[in-house]
Amino acid sequence: MTTQTLRALKGQRPIVCVTAYDTPTAQCADAAGVDLILVGDSVGNNVLGFDSTVPVTLDMMVHHCAAVARAKPEALLVADLPFGDAHLKAGDVVKACRRLIQEGGAAVVKIEGGVALVPIIEKLILAGIPVMGHIGLQPQQVNVLGGYRRFGKQVSEAEALKADALALVQAGAFALIIEMVDAKLAAEIAQSVSIPVIGIGSGPDCDGQILVAHDILGINEHAPSFAKSYAKLAETMRMAFAAYANEVRQKTYPTATKPVVSTTRTRE
């Protein structure tokens, strides 16, 4: 999958996207045939024990992206530019994105923000760095917002989101994630732009959907309301650990084995 082949899926079929942070999860997702794997800065919430994405650093993102890249996925590999880095000087933003591609193995960088980031996005694309946009709820803005909420119900906010989407298209973004946006508005934006619009918590009428692997697998037992779990791995994991602990305490693991008798003849 490349940026061009993924763009070509718009209007042909829904695009399947998964957020993953490590090699085995990426291998499983890729084997299932997903189109895009995002190494999100949501690694902070889902793996590293942070309360938000804000503490996640560029070094952390490079580390986890490289782990996913080692799975050698056929899916398009996208990495988040973490908190604050998109607002550095243009040269420093290019350096940060270059690390995600050269060291992390990403093919594309995802950046949160709309109209205000157009000059930076244009520079990145000129430097040969494909960009995926992200509007609506921007988790890196949680401290400004004071929490997470849905966007686009008010007319002024809806118009601002439409302007953001159009600006990102004009700047050269190849695709767009739209998070926690009113479903009717998300559908309108998807129909009005030429690039794929991937929804998360934004209704069924986007060009594709993305969910975090931990939510899909049921590892997060307090997943967002819009997420759907297709397994209950947290429960399975607890049962497996408990079974192991019980066998160790009962001395039934490891089981005793008979000594191996050599069949090799020795010289007398």
Q: Which helix (H) or strand (E) holds 182?
A: none
Residue 257: both structure tokens together: 């084995």
Active-site entry in 74, 103, 122, 179: 179
Tell the burial category of 86 from Cβ atoms under 10 Å away from its Cβ (0-12, 13-18, 19+). Answer: buried
Per DSSP bridges, beta strands 76-80 and 197-200 are: unpaired
d(CA 225, CA 120): 33
Three-point CA angle 218, 29, 74, nearest 5°: 165
Phi, psi of 110 (to 5 degrees): -100, 135
| Residues 194/26, Cβ–Cβ less than 8 Å | no
Residue 11: both structure tokens together: 């209007």
157 has catalytic annotation: no
CA 42 to chain CA mean position, Å:
7
List, by residue number, the catalytic residues.
179
